[in-house]
Structure 1
Amino acid sequence: MVRLTGIFTEPSAYVGFAFGWFVFLLECWLRDILPRRTGPAALALALVLFFSTSSTAYLGLGGYGIIVGLRLLLAPQHLDARKGLTLAGAALALLIAVCALAFLWPAFIDLMSTILRRATIDKQDSESGIQRAFWARIGIDAFFASYGIGIGPGSFRSSSFVTAMLGSTGLIGSLAFLAHLARAFRPLRISTYCGPRLGRQFGENTMIGAAGGWAALCVLIPAAVVSPTCDPGGDFAVFAAISLALRSLPLPRAAAVAQRPSVATWRRPVPAHSG
């Protein structure tokens, strides 16, 4: 089976690169940042990831889909309704296309089920899955053998960014990385979750920075299952730098006040009752 690798040596490395830019472009589209360019580009990358037959791609798309679904469910007032309808329409169109293709070409279902089964369910029993599980356990063993201190970056090869971080840098290094990630992502800022309507108060730079924060966070999803080292990669550095740089710029006074989180901000508006 021919698999997509791009300019990389293996599909998982290509997926790790493409997935981060897919998240960044889609987040820009959700915030109306050059929507005529970022939207089609994100769609093209989503199709490439889907047809890459890589389990890492399916894990990343599934994890990010859950994140977007939770954002739409918990804070729908901060996202544009048209964007949500567009995403739902795209998912429905994809479902209709798959059903039509299955009707016209019955062997398509068997082919896709075989590909998905090999990339997901049968992955653990494959040679690649067994090797990844073995290398991931080395990071855990290194963490406990060093009593939580870590044995240093580059001291061993892992197959998960999480276990590589724990085994290499220990508890202190892992907490320092989480602090850096939180500083780039800024989970308590309203601009992290808002859509284009509220985003106009903060300006385009802040919205691009928020998209970079989401990309920096989500790029760790594929890395959690394929990265051999504790280095989060160049894409993470780029996205984190975008967020840190653009969201550190001074905001207008009204936007600075709106950034302050409050309970009332997250509640859905309650319609007034006449009486």
Structure 2
Amino acid sequence: MSLPIMGMILFPLCLLFWMNPERQIQLVLIGGIFPAAAALILGGICVQPSLVPGLAFLSYVALQKILGARYPGQKEVMYLSGPMIFNGVWAVFGSLVMPRLFHNQVLVWPQKADAAGTQVLLAPSFGNISQDGYLVINIILMVLAAQYLTRNQIDMKKFYGAFVVAGWMVVFICFWQFAARTAHLPFPKEFFYSNTGWAVLDGQMAGPVPRINGSFTEPAACATYLTGVIFSSVWLTLKGYKFRTIKPLIIAATLSLCITTSTTGFAALAIGMILLPFMVVATGAARLLGRLGQFAMIGAVVLGMSTLIVVTFAPQVVAGVQKVSADTASKKDTASYKERTQADTDAITACMETYGLGTGWGSNRSSSLVPGLLASVGIIGCIALLIFDVRLMLTAKTALTVAPGSDYCLVIEGFIAAILGRLIAALTSAPTIGMPDFYVMIAITIAAIARVRMMARQSAITPQAPTALAA
């Protein structure tokens, strides 16, 4: 057993703030930007930094539950979380049953690539147990955090503040690493990459340009997180919400994403730009189309000026940009792209060969989100997740109508945009999203929606009379 530097920082903080559950939740959001680090190493098992404050929070709330504490929005939270809870139960059930039911009948890619790097016949494995453990903890954390945050005296806005701080920290680390790789500044790899269970890709190049992964395991993972930050900042700015530093964060996070040179990030941003006008209309905010046009013009001016400065003072960067663009355009011809595509195809095949039931949670490793879910939890689990998404979006839309412009709406719209950004990126290059900070973002969103629904019922407020609640 060893305690890395990250653990030396987090464990004392969690002990210090054990009686302050809100601070623990903020630490989960900030700890989520360090997935390549470990807070504790137990043999071959590495504890993620965000899991330490998450477990500290769960211990506090569990003690309160044992002592008989109840939170005002428990029923609302259970209603909103119901499909996700069902999916978790189904995933655990499938991990126990499916590898035995279809034993040696289906080929799967194991969770960690073996020495041969080939598919293996489906059988019960340690991956079922370990992945079940992460999933159960994450769902329990989501539900209990959402319940706790329905308390009236909690300021929901400060959690979005923690998310913004985390976004700025990622930006700082990305540019720090870029300076380290170009100007040879000191960069504490031992601190950021202490997780021995992950292969950290921190030395990749795109022609003459270094690929930046920041505090994450690879450039694509860093770009996925930054996509959520950009989506959230842009959406709140377009909607006219006032929150310190999010406007400059848009530019800083976009530049950080660019130096990752991640195709995943570029594709997610492109999809976001295409979806943005439709989202504006779909949310009933068509009046923002004019603001969207102004936003695009400002972005074009900033991009043009930045390009002119770079071409004038650093012409060597142009060759690097051309190389990155060429590599991105020819991505489909690379061996890695073909391997990823094959893994997704094999995942869908495994789903079909199990009659849509899936191979069991933790049995198969894919390249992108949808094939991974189909292979793991099957059609039933995917339908449950779809119901959860639809229920969350419909209730969020109602909450935005009931309490327009309130802090609750800022939190709901800000975190939903961040979640959507990470989901879009995961659709292209992530088999699953299993970080505790992602589930905490969902929990905060659920809690904000539940608070609005409870207050609307208590005050008998309808969507036509929102002023009392909004104030």
TM-score of the pair, normalised by structure 2? 0.48
Matched, 1:219 2:422: yes
Q: Given that residues 132 and 159 in structure 1 are in contact (C-alpha distance below 8 angstroms), is that contact kept between their aligned partners in structure 2?
A: yes
Letter of the 2:277 partner, please give it.
G
For 1:98-177, list aligned pairs within 5 A: 98-99=307-308, 101-102=310-311, 108-118=317-327, 120-177=328-385
Structure 1 gaps of 5+ residues are 193-197, 261-275
| 1:183 paired to 2:391 | yes
Corresponding position of 1:257: 463
**2:465 and 2:217 mapped to 1: Cα distance?**
43
Instruction: Using the TM superposition, give the Cα deviation of residue 247 of structure 1 relative to its aligned residue in structure 2, in angstroms.
Output: 1.8
Structure 1 position 235, deviation (Å): 4.4
Alignment of 1:26-105 (within 5 A): 26-72=234-280, 77-79=286-288, 81-82=290-291, 84-99=293-308, 101-102=310-311
Q: What is the DSSP-based 3-state SS (H/G/I as helix, E as strand, rest coil) of the residue aligned with 2:463?
A: helix
Q: Does the 8 Å contact 1:132/1:158 carry over to 2?
A: yes
Which residue number in structure 1 is paired with residue 50 of structure 2? none
**1:19 and 1:57 in contact (8 A); partners too:** yes
Q: Deviations over 1:121-156 (max 9, x none)?
A: 221222321221121112111111111111111101
User: CA distance change for structure 1 residues 191 and 122 in 2, over 3 Å: closer, same or farther?
Assistant: farther
Unaligned runs of 5+ in 2: 1-204, 467-471
| Structure 2 residue matching 1:157: 3-state secondary structure | coil
What residue number does 1:263 align with? none
* 3-state SS in 2 of match to 1:156: coil
Question: C-alpha separation between the residues in 2 aligned to 1:80 and 1:99?
Answer: 29
**Contact 2:426–2:433, Cα closer than 8 Å, also in 1:** no
What do the CA deviations read for 1:137-187 (whole angstroms, capped 9, x no partner)?
121111111111111111011001110011111111001111112233338
Quick one: percent identity of the two aligned structures? Answer: 26
Q: Is the 8 A contact 1:185 1:216 kept in 2?
A: no
> Cα offset for 1:24?
2.2
Please, which moves more after superposition, 38-47 or 63-72? 63-72
TM-score of the superposition, structure 1-length normalised?
0.78
Aligned residue for 1:201?
404
In structure 2, relative to structure 1, the CA distance for the partners of 1:72 and 1:189 (3 Å cut) is closer
SS in 2 for 1:189: helix
Alignment partners' CA distance in 2, 1:82 and 1:68: 12
CA apart distance, 1:62: 0.7
Q: Report the number of matched residues.
A: 253
Aligned-residue offset at 1:199: 9.4
Q: Is the 8 A contact 1:185 1:214 kept in 2?
A: no
Q: In 2, Cα distance between the equivalents of 1:247 and 1:238?
A: 14
Deviation at 1:234, TM superposition (A): 3.5
Distance change >3 Å, CA 133–CA 148, structure 1 → 2: same
User: SS state of the match for residue 333, structure 2?
Assistant: coil
1:21 and 2:229 aligned = yes
Residue 7 of structure 1 is matched in structure 2 by 215
Offset, 1:15: 1.5
Superposed CA RMSD in Å reads 3.1
CA–CA distance in structure 2, aligned partners of residues 255 and 27 of structure 1: 27
Which of the pair has more CA radius of gyration? 2
